[in-house]
């Protein structure tokens, strides 16, 4: 038999989910057979939906050899750090994701991801020690497309990660702002409220003013776009992402008649060709530049009122300056947009 002590980072997990993470190589049938026959919680049988608490003791009546085979994993070699740190404390880290880097792996790239780079950084720093953890790994709570740059927020411990996920999911906690350049002259702020459906095979989304007439209800989306400056048939826009759906900003702005420049999926092909010739931009101009914490759940109350920002990348700033004359900060200040 083996004994497992439930730590703070394992706290408040269902028994079956804990075991699935701990015995990562075990099929589901083996996990539920363990729960029925081979597991005791604090000396007693427990159901699959039992919530674990820090300090609990699990006794698993399997051999050490089987346990080792069901737990065994080979961590890939470390990957080169490509991100910059915008803010870090004992609970969270906010990093600036560069162009071309996935947040999580996909079928083509599993190793060199932002999530792996951040974990490697925290291991090297001593903030995360894998051999001490049974099921927890520092993880991001927001995602950006491969070619969208900017801020990604990570939780460094389990309690923080649970709070951050709720804060991102519910209104009133974290405001998410992006910078983009769109085709056309947006003269006044837009509040866009529609529905979004996704074609998973083609990895594209469609925005509907009303629910999809085909019967697929889709998901409600809300986007607020505020113009910052106009020039040469383009508008520099600050976008507040009220809901967070796949390709939401890109598809919503296209539906409103202001496609994001460089966007191969939702943009204007003629405009994109011009932008590519003049500036070398071949993908969407979209940057997650500001996170504002209006309020925060424990243990993050100290973040209330805090704002984290990330400047445009050098390449993006060159494009912005080429289209819109003038200093960026002065331009933003003239709009009266509160950027605290």
Q: What is the pLDDT of residues 20-66, one digit of tens each?
A: 988 988 999 999 999 999 999 999 999 999 999 989 999 999 998 88
Phi, psi of 258 (to 5 degrees): -130, 75
Encode 35-47: b = buried (16+ Cβ within 10 Å), e = exposed.
beeebebeeeebe
State the pLDDT at residue 263.
Answer: 96
Strand partners for 231 = 234
Instruction: Determine the Cα–Cα distance for residues 267 and 264; give it in Å rounded to an integer.
Output: 6
Whether the pLDDT of residue 221 is over 90: the answer is: yes
pLDDT of residue 324: 92
- Rounded to whole angstroms, the maximal C-alpha distance in the chain is 73
Domains of the chain (ranges; CATH) run 2-71 (3.10.290.10), 84-169 (3.30.2350.10), 174-335 (3.30.2350.10)
For the entire predicted model, the pTM comes to 0.84
Considering Cα of 104, then 300, then 95, then 123, what sign does the dihedral take?
negative
Which value, in Å, is the radius of gyration of the alpha carbons in the chain? 23
Residue 339 predicted with pLDDT over 80: no
Per the annotation, the verdict on 199 as an active-site residue is no
Better-predicted residue by pLDDT, 326 or 82:
82
Cα–Cα nearest to 161, from 5, 4, 12: 12
Task: Report the DSSP beta bridge partners of residue 219.
Answer: 196
Q: What is the pLDDT of residues 272-305, one digit of tens each?
A: 999 999 999 999 999 999 999 999 999 999 999 9
pLDDT at 238 over 60: yes
* Residue tagged active-site, from 38, 127, 145, 212: 145
Range 124-132 average pLDDT: 87
Confidence category of residue 106, pLDDT binned at 50, 70, 90:
low
Answer whether 12's CB lies under 8 Å from 53's CB: yes
| 8-state DSSP, 100 | T
């Amino acid at each position: 038999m083996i004994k497992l002590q439930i730590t703070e980072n394992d706290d408040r997990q269902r028994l079956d989910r804990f075991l699935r993470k701990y015995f990562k190589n075990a099929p589901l049938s083996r996990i539920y057979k363990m729960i029925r026959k081979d597991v005791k919680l604090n000396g007693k049988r427990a159901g699959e939906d039992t919530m674990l608490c820090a300090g609990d003791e699990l006794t698993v009546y399997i051999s050490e050899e089987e346990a080792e085979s069901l737990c065994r994993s080979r961590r890939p070699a470390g990957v080169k750090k490509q991100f910059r740190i915008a803010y870090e404390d004992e609970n969270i880290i906010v990093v600036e994701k560069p162009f071309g880097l996935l947040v999580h792996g996909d079928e083509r790239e599993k190793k060199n991801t932002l999530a792996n780079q951040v974990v490697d950084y925290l291991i090297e720093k001593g903030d995360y020690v894998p051999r001490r953890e049974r099921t927890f790994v520092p993880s991001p709570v927001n995602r950006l497309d491969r070619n969208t740059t900017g801020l990604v927020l990570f939780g460094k411990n389990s309690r923080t990660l649970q709070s951050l996920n709720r804060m991102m999911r519910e209104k009133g906690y974290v405001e998410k702002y992006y910078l983009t350049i769109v085709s056309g002259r947006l003269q006044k702020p837009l509040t866009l409220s529609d529905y979004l459906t996704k074609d998973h095979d083609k990895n594209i989304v469609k925005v509907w003013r009303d629910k999809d007439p085909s019967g697929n209800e889709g998901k409600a989306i809300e986007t607020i776009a505020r113009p910052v400056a106009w020039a040469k048939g383009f508008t520099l826009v600050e976008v507040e992402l009220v809901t967070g759906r796949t390709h939401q900003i890109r598809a919503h702005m296209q539906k409103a008649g202001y496609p994001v420049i460089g966007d191969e999926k939702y943009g204007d092909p003629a405009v994109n060709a011009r932008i590519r010739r003049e500036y070398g931009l071949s993908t969407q101009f979209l940057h997650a530049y500001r996170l504002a914490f209006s309020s925060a759940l424990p243990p993050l109350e100290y973040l209330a009122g805090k704002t984290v920002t990330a400047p445009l990348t050098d390449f993006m700033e060159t494009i912005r300056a080429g289209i819109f004359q003038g200093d960026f900060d002065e331009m933003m200040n003239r709009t009266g947009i509160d950027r605290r």
